[in-house]
């Protein structure tokens, strides 16, 4: 793989009442992963664009916004305006993923596509060149702290093969159950970008946890 590993801690596992302080606890993070849930596409409700905008004001780290919402095309511009570095939306939530991706890229924002565990890679491999990031969910989206689903790595391998075949710079991200015990297998399968929530914020020293994840991903 050509990319150095990126560790993107998910603030879903942070203390929402102290986000400024929580972000300061992870100086080694490469990105900040912002989980947006609408209570409809997934059975949980979290934060929206106003909170993403507030986060952008207190950190220089790129915001990796993951929209687990219905009708993402209606809302993506709000996250660009909020200061997102990249906006990832679900393939299952739109009939026009390429159109949304092009709108994001036209505004200078990274475009990401994500698929749930039950969604096959087939049909989306052909549009990989339209995206800056592909996110494979290794748990059912909606809640943090779930167990890693190793059979999702077959999708990772399929996307890695296509990205490499086309010689693209598209990053391959994984989200769900990533820990020091699972990140190595994800790296071996072809991931280069890792979302970790409870593995970081559940640790006594979140920043040391990030460094351990990066070490395990690099060794792999």
Question: What residue spans define the domains of the chain?
Answer: 6-219
pLDDT digit string (tens) for the chain, length 220 residues = 457 999 999 998 999 899 999 999 999 999 999 999 988 888 888 889 999 999 999 999 999 999 999 999 999 999 999 999 999 999 999 999 999 999 999 999 999 999 999 999 998 999 999 999 999 999 887 666 678 999 999 999 999 999 999 999 999 999 999 999 999 999 999 999 999 999 999 999 999 999 999 999 986 5
Q: Is the pTM of this model over 0.85?
A: yes
Q: Give the class (CATH, top level) of 6-219.
A: alpha beta
CA dist 185 → 2, 109, 177, 196 (Å): 17, 30, 12, 15
Which amino acids are annotated catalytic?
35, 175
- The HSE-up count of residue 126 (CA atoms within 13 Å, CB side) is 2
């Amino acid at each position: 793989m050509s990319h150095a590993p990126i560790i993107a801690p998910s603030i879903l596992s942070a203390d929402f009442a102290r986000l400024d302080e929580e972000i300061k606890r992870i100086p080694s993070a490469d990105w900040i992963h912002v989980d947006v849930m609408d209570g409809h596409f997934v059975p949980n409700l979290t934060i929206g664009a106003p909170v993403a905008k507030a986060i952008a004001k207190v950190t220089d780290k790129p915001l990796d916004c993951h929209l687990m919402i219905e009708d993402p095309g209606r809302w993506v511009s709000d996250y660009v305006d909020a200061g997102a570095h990249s906006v990832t939306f679900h393939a299952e939530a739109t009939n026009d993923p390429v159109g949304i991706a092009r709108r994001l890229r036209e505004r200078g924002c990274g475009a990401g596509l994500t698929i749930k565990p039950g969604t096959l890679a087939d049909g989306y491999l052909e549009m990989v060149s339209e995206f800056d990031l592909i996110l494979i969910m290794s748990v059912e989206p909606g809640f943090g702290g779930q167990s890693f689903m190793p059979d999702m790595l077959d999708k990772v391998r399929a996307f890695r093969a296509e990205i490499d075949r086309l010689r693209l710079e598209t990053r391959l991200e994984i989200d769900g159950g990533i820990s020091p015990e699972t990140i190595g297998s994800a790296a071996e399968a072809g991931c280069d970008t890792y979302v970790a929530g409870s593995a970081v914020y559940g640790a006594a020293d979140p920043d040391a946890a990030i460094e351990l994840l990066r070490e395990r991903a690099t060794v792999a």
